Amino acid sequence: MSAIGGYAAALVFLNWGVTDAVVLAMLGGFSAMLITAPFAPLLARYRGIFFSMLTLALSMVGYGLLVKTESLGGSDGFNMGRVTLLGQALADEQVRFGLYATTLVLTLVSAVLVRMYFLSSRGLVTRAVRDNELRVEYLGGSVSQTMSLNFVLAAFLGGMGGALAVMALGHIDPNFSYWTTSGEFVFVAILAGSQSVVAVMLSSLVLEMVRSFSSAYFPNTWQLALGIFLLLVIRFMPLGLGSLWSKTEKPSEKQP
């Protein structure tokens, strides 16, 4: 998803002359949403490790296609120029801060909208699906439609994030679609849990902190340190960081 959004933003920038950061971020999100929408009904049928492996397989198919497509730069990718913000060109010393501010605002707006979604009727159905899919179907809800919609919305957010990342880096390559990039999102999902939107942001920050310190003090085995940290989280906080302040029933306390 992030690769789709990143490539879409970079191609629109180079070929159509659209340079506004906000517009490119939105275009990246919509591009990812449109391209992944046909796969949503299929992916909505799977859960857990099967869903993870299927999305990972599709990601690697995309990686293979991008590496072989010379018009998109092949394995080297291609560069992207400097963006503007709300129609205003940014000076050299303002580019980083402008992109940071844009990312921060879009992230906060997205977090509020996601929170509103989970408090809506469709969002409440999503929570019910997590607990008992069969009962949702008995009550007249559609598990397939709900999960498909969730996947499409997630694609939009992932594509928007990919576009913002490409604008910050000034370069796009197939590694955005490589399995290790997807693994980082899995790490964040496990660390955050499903109780809080804020926990997702906090988990992303924790991931970067652990990776930075591990790279600094264990340059040859930082992946091992990251893996050990994840195992400790799974062992002592199986519901993720969100369970520290969210009033969510523990799995052992659920009624049959």
User: Could you list the pLDDT tens digit for every one of the 256 residues in the chain?
Assistant: 788 999 999 999 999 989 999 999 999 999 999 999 998 888 888 887 788 788 888 888 889 999 998 888 888 889 988 888 887 887 777 888 888 999 999 999 998 998 899 888 888 888 888 888 888 888 888 888 888 999 999 999 999 999 999 998 899 999 888 877 777 777 888 888 777 778 888 888 888 888 788 777 777 776 777 778 778 888 888 778 777 776 544 444 444 4
Q: Are both 78 and 168 inside the same structural domain?
A: yes
Q: Are both 91 and 200 inside the same structural domain?
A: no
Q: Are both 137 and 195 inside the same structural domain?
A: no
Q: Are both 55 and 88 inside the same structural domain?
A: yes
Q: Are both 46 and 68 inside the same structural domain?
A: yes
Q: Are both 204 and 115 inside the same structural domain?
A: no
Q: Is 116 among the domain residues?
A: yes
Q: Are both 138 and 191 inside the same structural domain?
A: no
Could you report how far apart the first and last alpha carbons of the chain are, in Å?
37
pTM over the 0.85 mark:
no
Pick from 146, 177, 208: which residue ends a domain? Answer: 177
Q: Are both 17 and 112 inside the same structural domain?
A: yes
| CA 149 – CA 134 distance, rounded (Å) | 18
Q: Are both 32 and 140 inside the same structural domain?
A: yes
**Could you give the residue ranges of the DSSP H alpha helices within 171-221?**
179-192, 197-217
Place of tokens 């919609």: 149
Length of the chain measured in residues: 256
Number of domains in the chain: 2
Q: Is 201 among the domain residues?
A: yes
| CA 238 – CA 219 distance, rounded (Å) | 28
Residue 137, amino acid? E
Closest C-alpha to 200, from 212, 209, 187, 213: 187
Q: Is 58 among the domain residues?
A: yes
Answer yes or no: are the C-beta atoms of 164 and 25 closer than 8 Å. Answer: yes
Q: Is 196 among the domain residues?
A: yes
Q: Is 256 among the domain residues?
A: no
Pick from 177, 194, 214: which residue ends a domain? Answer: 177
Answer yes or no: are the C-beta atoms of 31 and 5 closer than 8 Å. Answer: yes
Residue 79, domain extent: 1-177
Q: Are both 151 and 197 inside the same structural domain?
A: no
Q: Is 255 among the domain residues?
A: no
Q: Is 107 among the domain residues?
A: yes
Closest C-alpha to 61, from 156, 212, 181, 177: 177
Q: Are both 16 and 130 inside the same structural domain?
A: yes
Q: Are both 199 and 92 inside the same structural domain?
A: no
Pick from 177, 201, 236: which residue ends a domain? Answer: 177
